Amino acid sequence: MIPMPNLDVLGFLVLATFAVLCGLSVILQKHAVASALSLVGVMGSLAVLYLMLGAEFLAAVQMIVYAGAIMVLFVFVIMLLNSGSERPAKARYFAYLVGIPSLLAFLGVISFFILKELPNTSSVQFGAFTQGGPAPVGRLLFTQYLLPFEVTSLLVLIAIIGAMVLAKKEID
Protein backbone atom coordinates (compact mmCIF):
# COMPACT_ATOMS: atom_id res chain seq x y z
CA MET A 1 0.00 0.00 0.00
CA ILE A 2 1.33 3.42 -0.90
CA PRO A 3 1.08 5.81 2.06
CA MET A 4 -0.81 9.04 1.47
CA PRO A 5 1.64 11.87 0.83
CA ASN A 6 1.24 14.14 3.82
CA LEU A 7 3.12 17.24 4.96
CA ASP A 8 5.89 15.24 6.66
CA VAL A 9 6.64 13.21 3.55
CA LEU A 10 6.60 16.36 1.43
CA GLY A 11 9.01 18.03 3.85
CA PHE A 12 11.24 14.99 3.79
CA LEU A 13 11.32 14.95 -0.01
CA VAL A 14 12.16 18.65 -0.23
CA LEU A 15 14.90 18.40 2.40
CA ALA A 16 16.33 15.19 0.99
CA THR A 17 16.48 16.69 -2.50
CA PHE A 18 18.13 19.80 -1.12
CA ALA A 19 20.65 17.74 0.84
CA VAL A 20 21.56 15.63 -2.21
CA LEU A 21 21.85 18.70 -4.44
CA CYS A 22 24.09 20.40 -1.88
CA GLY A 23 26.14 17.23 -1.61
CA LEU A 24 26.64 17.16 -5.38
CA SER A 25 27.51 20.83 -5.25
CA VAL A 26 30.26 20.12 -2.70
CA ILE A 27 32.21 18.06 -5.21
CA LEU A 28 31.23 19.93 -8.38
CA GLN A 29 31.99 23.50 -7.28
CA LYS A 30 35.24 24.93 -8.56
CA HIS A 31 35.75 27.22 -5.60
CA ALA A 32 36.65 25.90 -2.17
CA VAL A 33 34.45 28.42 -0.33
CA ALA A 34 31.45 27.44 -2.43
CA SER A 35 32.12 23.77 -1.66
CA ALA A 36 32.37 24.46 2.06
CA LEU A 37 29.12 26.41 2.03
CA SER A 38 27.38 23.60 0.14
CA LEU A 39 28.51 21.31 2.95
CA VAL A 40 26.86 23.72 5.39
CA GLY A 41 23.69 23.33 3.32
CA VAL A 42 23.92 19.52 3.64
CA MET A 43 24.34 19.81 7.40
CA GLY A 44 21.51 22.27 7.75
CA SER A 45 19.05 20.05 5.88
CA LEU A 46 20.22 17.03 7.89
CA ALA A 47 19.55 18.99 11.07
CA VAL A 48 15.99 19.72 9.95
CA LEU A 49 15.55 16.03 9.08
CA TYR A 50 16.69 15.10 12.60
CA LEU A 51 14.17 17.60 13.93
CA MET A 52 11.37 16.02 11.89
CA LEU A 53 12.33 12.59 13.20
CA GLY A 54 12.02 13.81 16.79
CA ALA A 55 15.73 14.08 17.62
CA GLU A 56 15.64 17.72 18.72
CA PHE A 57 18.85 17.65 20.73
CA LEU A 58 20.78 16.03 17.90
CA ALA A 59 19.44 18.63 15.45
CA ALA A 60 20.55 21.54 17.63
CA VAL A 61 23.96 20.02 18.24
CA GLN A 62 24.35 19.36 14.53
CA MET A 63 23.79 23.05 13.86
CA ILE A 64 25.94 24.32 16.75
CA VAL A 65 28.91 21.99 16.32
CA TYR A 66 29.05 21.15 12.62
CA ALA A 67 27.50 24.12 10.85
CA GLY A 68 28.38 26.71 13.48
CA ALA A 69 31.85 25.74 14.66
CA ILE A 70 33.63 23.26 12.41
CA MET A 71 32.49 24.67 9.08
CA VAL A 72 33.09 28.25 10.22
CA LEU A 73 36.69 27.22 10.94
CA PHE A 74 36.92 25.57 7.50
CA VAL A 75 35.60 28.69 5.78
CA PHE A 76 37.89 30.82 7.93
CA VAL A 77 40.99 28.88 6.89
CA ILE A 78 39.98 28.86 3.22
CA MET A 79 39.48 32.62 3.31
CA LEU A 80 42.73 33.13 5.22
CA LEU A 81 44.71 31.22 2.59
CA ASN A 82 42.63 33.05 -0.04
CA SER A 83 42.76 30.17 -2.49
CA GLY A 84 41.44 31.01 -5.93
CA SER A 85 39.08 28.88 -7.97
CA GLU A 86 40.54 25.70 -9.36
CA ARG A 87 40.63 24.76 -12.98
CA PRO A 88 39.13 21.30 -13.42
CA ALA A 89 41.78 18.72 -14.33
CA LYS A 90 41.52 17.44 -17.88
CA ALA A 91 39.93 14.01 -17.68
CA ARG A 92 41.71 11.32 -19.62
CA TYR A 93 40.13 8.64 -21.74
CA PHE A 94 41.43 6.00 -19.34
CA ALA A 95 39.67 7.69 -16.40
CA TYR A 96 36.32 7.47 -18.18
CA LEU A 97 37.00 3.86 -19.20
CA VAL A 98 37.64 2.71 -15.64
CA GLY A 99 35.75 5.31 -13.63
CA ILE A 100 32.24 4.99 -15.05
CA PRO A 101 31.99 1.15 -14.83
CA SER A 102 33.38 1.14 -11.28
CA LEU A 103 30.92 3.87 -10.27
CA LEU A 104 28.06 1.79 -11.72
CA ALA A 105 29.34 -1.33 -9.96
CA PHE A 106 29.59 0.55 -6.67
CA LEU A 107 26.06 1.93 -7.01
CA GLY A 108 24.84 -1.57 -7.92
CA VAL A 109 26.40 -3.12 -4.80
CA ILE A 110 25.00 -0.38 -2.57
CA SER A 111 21.50 -0.64 -3.98
CA PHE A 112 21.64 -4.44 -3.78
CA PHE A 113 22.35 -4.31 -0.07
CA ILE A 114 19.75 -1.60 0.53
CA LEU A 115 17.09 -3.59 -1.34
CA LYS A 116 18.11 -6.75 0.48
CA GLU A 117 17.82 -5.09 3.89
CA LEU A 118 14.74 -2.98 3.19
CA PRO A 119 11.93 -5.55 3.58
CA ASN A 120 13.15 -6.46 7.06
CA THR A 121 12.83 -2.94 8.41
CA SER A 122 9.57 -1.14 9.00
CA SER A 123 9.38 2.32 7.48
CA VAL A 124 10.04 5.38 9.62
CA GLN A 125 7.05 7.13 11.14
CA PHE A 126 7.44 10.89 11.55
CA GLY A 127 6.53 11.97 15.06
CA ALA A 128 6.58 8.44 16.51
CA PHE A 129 9.88 8.95 18.36
CA THR A 130 9.70 11.30 21.33
CA GLN A 131 12.85 10.50 23.32
CA GLY A 132 15.12 12.89 21.42
CA GLY A 133 15.08 15.81 23.86
CA PRO A 134 18.07 16.87 25.94
CA ALA A 135 16.93 15.01 29.07
CA PRO A 136 16.65 11.45 27.61
CA VAL A 137 19.86 11.88 25.61
CA GLY A 138 21.71 13.13 28.68
CA ARG A 139 20.36 10.26 30.79
CA LEU A 140 21.59 7.71 28.23
CA LEU A 141 25.00 9.39 27.99
CA PHE A 142 25.50 9.25 31.75
CA THR A 143 24.18 5.73 32.31
CA GLN A 144 24.24 3.27 29.42
CA TYR A 145 26.93 4.96 27.31
CA LEU A 146 29.04 6.42 30.10
CA LEU A 147 32.25 4.58 29.20
CA PRO A 148 32.25 5.43 25.44
CA PHE A 149 31.34 9.02 26.32
CA GLU A 150 34.25 9.42 28.75
CA VAL A 151 36.69 7.63 26.44
CA THR A 152 35.69 9.95 23.60
CA SER A 153 36.26 13.01 25.78
CA LEU A 154 39.71 11.65 26.71
CA LEU A 155 40.43 11.15 23.01
CA VAL A 156 39.45 14.74 22.25
CA LEU A 157 41.66 15.95 25.10
CA ILE A 158 44.62 14.02 23.67
CA ALA A 159 43.93 15.54 20.24
CA ILE A 160 43.86 19.07 21.73
CA ILE A 161 47.18 18.51 23.55
CA GLY A 162 48.70 17.05 20.38
CA ALA A 163 47.59 20.05 18.35
CA MET A 164 49.09 22.41 20.92
CA VAL A 165 52.40 20.54 20.95
CA LEU A 166 52.54 20.63 17.15
CA ALA A 167 51.65 24.32 17.06
CA LYS A 168 54.24 25.25 19.67
CA LYS A 169 57.05 23.54 17.74
CA GLU A 170 59.46 25.95 16.09
CA ILE A 171 59.66 25.57 12.34
CA ASP A 172 63.30 25.04 11.42
Partner 1 sequence: MDFFLVSLIKIVVVFGAFMTTLAYLQWVERKVLAHIQLRLGPQRVGPHGLLQPLADVIKLATKEGLIPANVNTFFYILAPFLAVSLALISIAVIPFGPEIELFGVRTNLELTSLNIGVLLILAISSVGVYGIALGGWASNNKYSLMGGLRSSAQMISYELPMTIALATPLLVLNTLDLRQIAERQGGGWFWNWTAFSYPPLLFIAFIVFLISAFAETNRVPFDLPEAENELVAGFHTEYSSLAFAGFFMAEYANMVTITCVSTTIFLGGWHPPFPAPYSNFVPTALFWFFGGVLLFHGLTQPARRWDRFTFPAFGVISLGLGAIFLLAATVLPIIGQILLPVFWFVAKVGLLLFLFIWVRGTLPRFRYDQLMRFTWTFLFPVALGCLLLTGLGVALFG
Residue 63: how many other CB atoms lie within 10 Å: 19
Q: Helix/strand/coil (H, E, C) string of the chain?
A: CCCCCCHHHHHHHHHHHHHHHHHHHHHHCCCHHHHHHHHHHHHHHHHHHHHHCCCHHHHHHHHHHHHHHHHHHHHHHHHHHCCCCCCCCCCCHHHHHHHHHHHHHHHHHHHHHHHHHHHHCCCCCCCCCCCCCHHHHHHHHHCCCHHHHHHHHHHHHHHHHHHHHHHHCCCC
Q: Which stretch binds partner 1 (CB under 8 A): 4-12, 76-84, 144-152, 156-164?
A: 76-84
User: With binding defined as CB under 8 A, does residue 33 bind partner 1?
Assistant: yes
Q: Out of 134, 136, 148, 162, name the contact with partner 1 by CB under 8 A.
A: 134
User: With binding defined as CB under 8 A, does residue 141 bind partner 1?
Assistant: no
User: With binding defined as CB under 8 A, does residue 52 bind partner 1?
Assistant: no
Total site size for partner 1, rule CB under 8 A: 24
User: With binding defined as CB under 8 A, does residue 79 bind partner 1?
Assistant: yes
Q: Which is nearer to partner 1, 8 or 56 (CB)?
A: 56
Q: Which is nearer to partner 1, 82 or 122 (CB)?
A: 82
Q: Which is nearer to partner 1, 76 or 149 (CB)?
A: 76
Sign (positive/negative) of CA torsion 89, 94, 96, 99?
A: negative
Q: Which is nearer to partner 1, 23 or 132 (CB)?
A: 132
- Count of all residues that appear for the chain in the document: 172
User: With binding defined as CB under 8 A, does residue 53 bind partner 1?
Assistant: no
Binding mask 54-73 for partner 1 (x = CB under 8 A): --xx-xxx-xx--xxx--xx
Q: Catalog residues that contact partner 1 under the rule CB under 8 A.
A: 31, 33-34, 37, 40, 56-57, 59-61, 63-64, 67-69, 72-73, 75-76, 79-80, 82, 133-134
